[in-house]
Amino acid sequence: MTLPTNHTQLLNWLIEKHGLKSYLELGVQSAKNNFNKINVEDKWGVDPNPDDATKILNRIHLNTSDEYFDAMFDAKFDLIFIDGLHHADQVKKDFENSLRCLNDNGFIVIHDTCPENEAGTKVPRETRRWWGDVYKFVMTLDSYPGIEHTTLEMDEGCTIVWKDASVEAVPCIFGDEGVTWQKYLDWKDRYYNIVTPESFFK
């Protein structure tokens, strides 16, 4: 299999490599871009306002992610892709709900975690190219016990999370001010656990 270069290929690589059987996508928007290309039969999407072609798919829930998780509290998945509202507070909620619904040998992939400039992280959105402030949440992942994570600096940044009961939480150091753009630049290498795609896929 060719080494992945984008998030769709990464998701399919995880499915093939680990024999994953079920998939949930938060933030479908247009199914032709990613959802339809995921190579697993048991797949579901969540988006409150996708394009018209996506609305007619019977596997797309036309809800917010909060509404979906409230209604599907006991759902379980092997692979969950978080690519919805790119606000750190919403990504936090999506992650915590996804972690609750993740099977023990599964993975969560968070997209748009490596912004290239500060302007593209402003909330509300001010630029055409926009990552949102997803990075602020990723910087706090070490504060969650029982998980491990790594980030691939490809395709706008893909952060991969999996369960590991041996991992203890590390208190967040960012204080009341929270994660700023400068702190992200200064501490990203420490808190993102960055690996090259070449080393990860090998």
pLDDT in tens, 128-174: 999 999 999 999 999 999 999 999 999 999 999 999 999 999 999 98
Indicate the burial class of 72 (C-beta count within 10 angstroms; 0-12, 13-18, 19 or more): middle
Q: CA 2 from chain center: how many Å? A: 22
What's the whole-number average pLDDT of the chain?
A: 96
Which of 30-34, 69-73, 97-101, 196-200 is least confident? 196-200
Look at residue 1 in the predicted model and tell me its pLDDT.
60
Q: Which residue's structure tokens are 């036309």?
A: 62
DSSP structure class, residue 166: T
Q: State what percent of residues in the chain have pLDDT above 90.
A: 95
Residue 105, pLDDT above cutoff 80:
yes
Rounded mean pLDDT, 65-85 = 97
Look at residue 175 in the predicted model and tell me its pLDDT.
81
pTM tops 0.95, yes or no: yes
pLDDT in tens, 43-55: 999 999 999 999 9
β-strand pairing of 158-163 with 147-152: antiparallel
Enter the tokens of residue 166. 């041996």
Residue 176, pLDDT above cutoff 80:
no
Q: What are the CA-CA distances from residue 195 to residues 35, 138, 192 (Å)?
A: 26, 15, 9
Query: How many beta carbons lie within 10 A of that of residue 102, not counting itself?
Result: 22
Enter the tokens of residue 158. 């893909």
Which of 79-83, 105-109, 130-134, 176-180 is least confident? 176-180
DSSP structure class, residue 16: H
Domains of the chain and any CATH numbers: 7-201 (3.40.50.150)
The span from the CA of 10 to the CA of 99, in Å, is 19
Look at residue 31 in the predicted model and tell me its pLDDT.
98
Indicate the burial class of 33 (C-beta count within 10 angstroms; 0-12, 13-18, 19 or more): middle
Residue 177, pLDDT above cutoff 90:
no
Q: What are phi and psi of 121, to 5 degrees?
A: -110, 0
Strands (E) across the chain are located at: 22-26, 42-46, 60-61, 77-82, 102-111, 147-152, 158-163, 194-195
